[in-house]
Amino acid sequence: MHFYGTQSVTNDGHLMIGGVDTVELSRTYGTPLFIYDLELIRKRARGFIDTFNRLGIKAEVAYASKAFSCIAIYQLANEERLSLDVVSGGELYTAIKSGFPAERIHFHGNNKSYAELELAFDTKIGCIVVDNFYEIELLKQISEARKQPMRILLRVTPGVEAHTHDFITTGQADSKFGFDLNNGQADEAFQKVVNHPYIQLLGLHCHIGSQIFETDGFSLAAGKLMQKISIWKEQNQFECTVLNLGGGFGIRYTEEDHPLEPQVYVEEMIKTVQENVKEYKLSMPEIWIEPGRSLVGDAGTSLYTIGSQKTVPNIREYIAVDGGMSDNIRPALYDAKYEATIANKANEQRNFTYTVAGKLCESGDKLIIDGVLQKAEPGDLLAVFCTGAYGYSMASNYNRVPRPAVVFVESGEHQLAIQRESYEDLVQNDLPFTLNKVSVK
């Protein structure tokens, strides 16, 4: 069994995380429950930040909070001196509510509304990552009306797309995000903002994909951005002060995944940027990155209670848990793979093959197909590893299943970070039917 972070097993077979017994957590908070190992999140954050510091490179490591967003995680991110990437008014609002310093918030999105952009100006965030021409027009309107400056990056698509071990270069990147670097759109966007009295262009941004295990794609993309920056410097005396290379650093979900350490990605990026700085005679920009999954993914564990079982003779053995695609849509949506253990029998032999089904009314609601586990009985606890990124944040109320609670653990202590939704929560925005024109006899 592979353990993440502070996980261990007690003599009586209980899975421990952050020095806390998961069986105890299930009694205190109920299931399904997300458990976050704060020590591991801190370690990942420091892995990125310390590498930049060690190499003397000015940087911001922005937590891509779409991976998991709530007030407590933003407060932890602030404690670790991370910056923050938000992608909606909702995430921005949550960040501000948490007390996160606005100047370290970066706002992303391919269709930011007027109201969302106004919120960014109201709260005086550090940077808007501008995605398209419509947004440039909105930004001009808002900044001119308020006579208020705003720092921006232009998001560009470099024609490099990376996924896990492969990356592909496409001439014309077919993406809903950003300005194409190759077809003149990025140059047009640059011309529209470069001499604006309130819009302050810091540099360029790109994000080439997610769950990436190689550094080549990042290097290639960085090279393309630097080349463009050198042209703008030559033609317009533009000084680029920030190069944001996005997120996408891979993590281990199963034994098939072999991620690199955070510092390896960072070292490679820095090397490429430095080479380009030298080649094009530029000044060294700050390097910003936006890890999401690699900060919180393997620090999160989902704890479920096992209920019903079903044997399909000679075909499959099912066990069902008290959650499923409503708290983890990734297996159904992306065919994502997970490993698990029975948290109250973690020291027993794993001799049984089970398919873990959720409780939602959908045949595709399976969390693990043919996973090898200890013998399962009703009432046992199933811990599914590595659910910290895009689990809770993509949760839904399908079937009116309340969303789980989230608990933080560290050094033998635990605290609730998000309360379990109640049935009352589920109906709080529902209104009674009043257009009842048909009289019921």
Judged by DSSP in three states, 318 sits in: strand
Confirm or reject binding of residue 228 to ligand LLP (CB under 6 A): no
Note whether 294 binds ligand LLP by CB under 6 A: yes
Choosing from 32, 159, 203, 292, the residue that interacts with ligand LLP (CB under 6 A) is 292
> Among residues 158, 291, 300, 371, which is the contact residue for ligand LLP, using CB under 6 A?
291
Residue 349 C-beta: closest distance to ligand LLP, Å: 32
Least CB distance to ligand LLP at residue 269 (A):
14
Q: Tokens for 82? A: 């991370």
Phi-psi region of 233 (alpha: psi -120 to 50; beta: other; left: phi over 0): alpha
Query: For 65-221, where are the E strands, in sequence order?
Result: 83-86, 105-107, 127-130, 150-157, 160-164, 166-169, 179-180, 199-205, 209-212
Catalytic residue annotation: 361
CB of 281 to ligand LLP, least distance (A): 29
Round the CA-based radius of gyration of the chain to a whole number and report it: 24
DSSP H helix total and E strand total for the chain: 12, 24
Stretch touching ligand LLP by CB under 6 A, among 76-84, 286-294, 347-355, 399-407: 286-294
How many Cα atoms occupy the beta-carbon half-sphere of 159 within 13 Å? 14
Q: Which of 207, 359, 403, 414 binds ligand LLP (CB under 6 A)?
A: 207
Stretch that binds ligand LLP, among 11-19, 36-44, 289-297, 377-385 (CB under 6 A): 289-297
Query: Could you give the string, one character per residue 48-87, with x where binding to ligand LLP holds by CB under 6 A and - elsewhere?
Result: ----------------x--x-----------------x--
Nearer to ligand LLP, 162 or 373 (CB): 162
Taking CB under 6 A as the rule, does residue 290 contact ligand LLP?
yes
Residue 198 DSSP label: S
**Token pair for 349:** 């032999």
Q: Is 322 helix (H, G, I), strand (E, B) or coil?
A: coil
The residue among 249 and 408 lying less far from ligand LLP, judged by its C-beta, is 249
Q: Does 293 bind ligand LLP (CB under 6 A)?
A: yes
Spatial distance between the Cα atoms of 22 and 4, rounded to a whole number of angstroms? 14
- Cβ 327 to ligand LLP, closest distance in Å? 13
- Listed in sequence order, the DSSP H helices in 281-435 are 293-296, 330-334, 423-427
Q: 171: phi > 0 → left, psi -120 to 50 → alpha, else beta; which?
A: alpha
Binding-site size for ligand LLP (CB under 6 A) equals 19
Nearest residue to 343 (alpha-carbon basis) of 40, 58, 33: 33
The DSSP output letter for 347 is T
For residue 32, whether the previous peptide bond is cis, meaning omega lies within 30 degrees of 0, is yes
218 or 249, CB closer to ligand LLP? 249
Q: Are 382 and 303 in contact (CB under 8 A)?
A: yes
Smallest separation (angstroms) from ligand LLP to the CB of 216? 17
CA dist 96 → 61, 70, 426, 438 (Å) = 18, 11, 25, 47
> Interacting stretch for ligand LLP, rule CB under 6 A, among 118-126, 252-260, 288-296, 310-318?
288-296
Taking the least distance from each CB to ligand LLP, the nearer of 108 and 414 is 108
- CA distance linking residue 439 with residue 108, whole number of Å: 50
Q: How far apart are CB 29 and ligand LLP at their closest, in Å?
A: 24
Residue 332's φ and ψ, nearest 5 degrees, are -70, -35
Site for ligand LLP in 331-370 (CB under 6 A): 334
Q: Quick check: 203 binds ligand LLP (CB under 6 A)?
A: no
| Residues within window 107-126 making contact with ligand LLP, judged by CB under 6 A | 108
Give the residue, chosen from 210, 272, 276, 301, that forms a contact with ligand LLP under the rule CB under 6 A.
210
Task: For the CB of residue 295, give the shortest distance to ligand LLP in the complex, in Å.
Answer: 8
Minimum CB separation of residue 362 from ligand LLP in Å reads 18
Beta partners for residue 244, in sequence order: 205, 288
Residues 243-272 that bind ligand LLP (CB under 6 A): 246-249
Binding site for ligand LLP (CB under 6 A): 64, 67, 85, 108, 207, 210, 246-249, 290-294, 330, 334, 389-390
